[in-house]
Amino acid sequence: MFLRYCALMIALATVFTGQSNAASRDHTNILFIAIDDLNDWIGCLGGHPQVKTPHMDALARRGVLFTEAHCAAPVCGPSRVAIMSGRRAWTTGVYSNNANYPQRLPNVESMPEFLVRHDYHVMGSGKLFHGDTKYPKGAFHEYAKGIPQPWPKAAILSSRQKPVYEWQVDGKVITFPRNGMPADRTWKDTHTFDWGPLDLPDEKFRDTAVVEWGNQRLRNAYDKPFFLGVGIHLPHQPLYAPQRFHDMYPPATTVLPPYFKDDLEDLSKAGVDYALIPTTSGTHATVAKHGQWKSAVSSYLATVTFVDHLVGRLLKELEQSEHSENTWIVLWSDHGWHLGEKDHWGKATGWFRATRVPLMIVPPRSATPEDFQPGTTCDHPVNLIDLFPTVVEMAGLKQDDGLEGKSLLPLVNNPGSTWQDHTVTTFGRGNHAITSKRWRLIQYFDGSAELYDRSTDPHEWNNLIDDTKWSHIVSELRAKVPPEPNWKHFVRYGNFKAVIPSDGSRMLLFNHAVENHLEERDDESARYPKVIEQITTWLKNHPTNKKRIVIPADSQK
């Protein structure tokens, strides 16, 4: 009797194991690695000649590397809202870092919520949405939030750095700012435009804890397919990494990015503003004045290599786990980052340094596409807006209406497949970069624009917008600029940008002479009633169907 019972249990176990394996084949796991502010300075993209990223390079050799991947928006908040909602800024209204997902999009199902609804076990750590805690309720079954930095909050406040702030950890005295530079961004007290080594063990750094939490989840067994998002904060400023990574890049021998000192002379006022105003970081003038350019580049490279080390630990853990055969791997960065190119530091521009991002996809061994070839590259223009529909297809699920991207899996199967000829990056209302394989058009809200032939001008130094030889290209690319139907007019009035809604609601106003307002986080119309009155009067007296308007200087009071 006992032997018959054991035989029955073994038979049932075999049946259920088979069912579990079948389900596992049909619905694979997904490891979703997000990196903050990582531009194309990784080995396999050739962005910097000295960078060391062996683990990301090895990952690219296992899958498909998208060499023309661009962000939906070159700022953390709107980029991540676009990724997690699958919708563009002109659909969601999220153009800036005013990007608290549950507040801004309470009725839009996010990618993790979609997977929860379809019976995935959804886990996350670190920065996936904009901020470690600003995600919708019910988006994750497990989430590691609020992992602290090793330094006290006061250490990075300009108001407490007089001119420095000293703090201690494990008996070591550490001084901030590490680079000795004052803050350029006076609109906020947090001074993060800083860099340099911290002689602390790896486990003191926030991203080490983020990755270790992910490693622990990979050691577990699950009775359903899982989605594991791991959001690494570096190389977002401040650019601090353990000492040994900084030692790899001595500032004295660090190669600076290509730079043209007269680069801004062929730009419009809008282009110059986006280059010089310290919206997200500091100014190139301050970096140069303090002799910190090489140190900053060296520190960025150090943080990138530290991130690569952490990615390597995560991938090793996956490879040693029971999930190694049945897990998709997606690695991406939310946008790029300038390090002095066009006299700019940070993001929030329409140039390639802010829009181009690493993106690579590796299929599971158990579900490799029929024609897949590891180590291939895809040079079609793709966008991070495509990640949500890609994840849906990875999970073997049906895409809901409303997603505005396209699944990238056809390109994983065959990188030469037919694809769209351009992609769009949006940086504020009315500002768009249209990127094709050869061309980039940057269209500003006020009608001014830039055109670059990337085949002969990869650094975007020669603005061809006024060269009549290329007027047909300008016309073709301008036809691809999103119409943004929610907005009737974009108006330049001196340093002010006015946005006129199509539904007749009140005008939005942004003073671009104030550094952070270039990002358009807060409407300033209540502060400038006379400006609102003058713009309203001019529009009434000069009716037009033009979308982009500049009010002449002689009409301004």
- Pick the catalytic residue from 48, 70, 121, 130: 130
**What are the backbone dihedrals phi and psi of residue 553, each rounded to the nearest 5 degrees, phi first?**
-60, -35
The residues pairing with 126 across neighbouring beta strands, listed in sequence order, are: 231
Torsional sign, CA 234, 240, 245, 251: positive
Would you call 309 a catalytic residue per the annotation? no
> Of all residues in the chain, what percent are helix, strand and coil, respectively (each to 5)?
35, 20, 45
List alpha helices for 52-163, DSSP H: 54-62, 76-85, 89-92, 101-104, 111-117
How far is the C-alpha of 1 from the C-alpha of 221, rounded, in Å?
Answer: 33
Alpha-carbon distances of 59 from 158, 226, 312, rounded to whole Å: 40, 20, 9
**What are the backbone dihedrals phi and psi of residue 217, each rounded to the nearest 5 degrees, phi first?**
-70, -30
Would you call 70 a catalytic residue per the annotation? no
The residues pairing with 382 across neighbouring beta strands, listed in sequence order, are: 69
Is 442 within 8 Å of 271 (Cβ atoms)?
yes
How far is the C-alpha of 421 from the C-alpha of 440, rounded, in Å?
Answer: 12
Instruction: Provide the token pair at 226.
Output: 């899982």
Q: For tokens 């890609």, what's the residue?
A: 390
> 3-class SS at 142?
strand
- Helix (H), strand (E) at residue 359: strand 359-362
- Pick the catalytic residue from 44, 71, 76, 378: 76
Q: For tokens 């993001």, what's the residue?
A: 347
Catalytic machinery residues: 76, 130
